[in-house]
Amino acid sequence: MPELPEVETVRTGLEKSINSKTISKIILNRKKIRFDIPLEILKAEKSKIISIERRSKYLLVNLSNAHTIIIHLGMSGKVLVHKTKLKQYDKHDHFAIIFTDNSEMVFNDARRFGVVDYTKTANLAEHKLLKDLGPEPLTDKFNDKYFIKQFMAKTKPIKIAIMDAKNVVGVGNIYASESLYRAGINPAQACGKVSEEKLSLLVKSIKQVLKEAIKSGGSTLRDYVRSDGDLGYFQHNFKVYGRDKDSCFKCKAEIKKIVQQGRSTYYCPRCQK
Ligand SMILES: [Zn+2]
């Protein structure tokens, strides 16, 4: 499943490949993915793409008609940009935009957990998918003071809490394990039991882990024309994720795997207390 760094890499790719293009035609091959794609989206034809932003794992394609196309990749979604428009669509090509230069952006999603929506740009903050989201981890809003206040009294395990988008967005399963390892915090520890010092170390670690992943994605993205959501190449940098039964890079103890809310967590029992 694409996490924040992968989505940011797709955003960068789209910025380089479709920004400032004018929409010639919108293609709806399927009316419903996870939700209905609103027919109003057809009104985006003739408008120009003015910027591509990201909020959490939502791509926001802002248009000159004061509307925004919202795209979420779900589990398996991919955004592909073709230099010339397709002659034939794949059966999972649910939504496409053809530009006036005859290039085409296609949203392909085999498992159909993805989202394509359309709204007034001015109403984005109140949009049902965006309104309850916590701060972006790479902004100043996500800082020690906020984090400590948010977590002090909580009894939930710290890993579950950092993956809750109401507290902070974009810390998915992989990066949760990785940042807790860096901060030396046991993932099962209740938030309220973690020292302020370690919580502030965790804020730093989350930012670092995500920045490094974005950097590695950006430098690996060779072909901007193919903004592929399914990028598996961050994997070789993991310190604990997927390394159960291997030895810890710091202390040589065996990395353990536990399951929390149905998701695998990896940690070093010696380094993470
Ligand atoms: Zn260790």
Q: Which of 11, 57, 182, 256 is catalytic?
A: 57
| Residue 57 bears catalytic tag | yes
Residues in the chain: 273
CA distance 231 to 82: 18
From first to last of its 273 residues, what are the pLDDT tens digits of the chain?
778 888 898 898 899 899 999 999 999 999 999 999 999 999 999 999 999 999 999 999 999 999 999 999 988 888 989 989 999 999 999 999 999 999 999 999 988 999 999 999 999 999 999 999 999 999 999 999 999 998 888 899 999 999 999 999 999 898 999 999 999 999 999 999 999 999 999 999 999 999 988 887 654 443 333 444 444 445 557 899 989 999 999 999 999 999 999 999 999 999 999
Task: Compute, in angstroms, the gap from residue 186 CA to the centroid of ligand 1.
Answer: 11
Reference 96, options 48, 27, 41; nearest CA is: 27
Rounded to 10 degrees, the C-alpha dihedral 62/45/223/111 comes to 90
CA distance 97 to 80: 11
CA distance 177 to 122: 36
Q: How far is CA 238 from CA 199, 253, 260, in A?
A: 21, 16, 19
| Residue 157 bears catalytic tag | no
Q: Which of 2, 135, 137, 157 is catalytic?
A: 2
DSSP reduced 3-state for 105: strand
Considering the entire predicted model, what is its pTM? 0.88
Q: Which of 112, 207, 226, 263 is catalytic?
A: 263
Task: Compute, in angstroms, the gap from residue 269 CA to the centroid of ligand 1.
Answer: 7
| Residue 38 bears catalytic tag | no
Task: Compute, in angstroms, the gap from residue 230 CA to the centroid of ligand 1.
Answer: 31
Q: Which two tokens stand for residue 43?
A: 């009104």
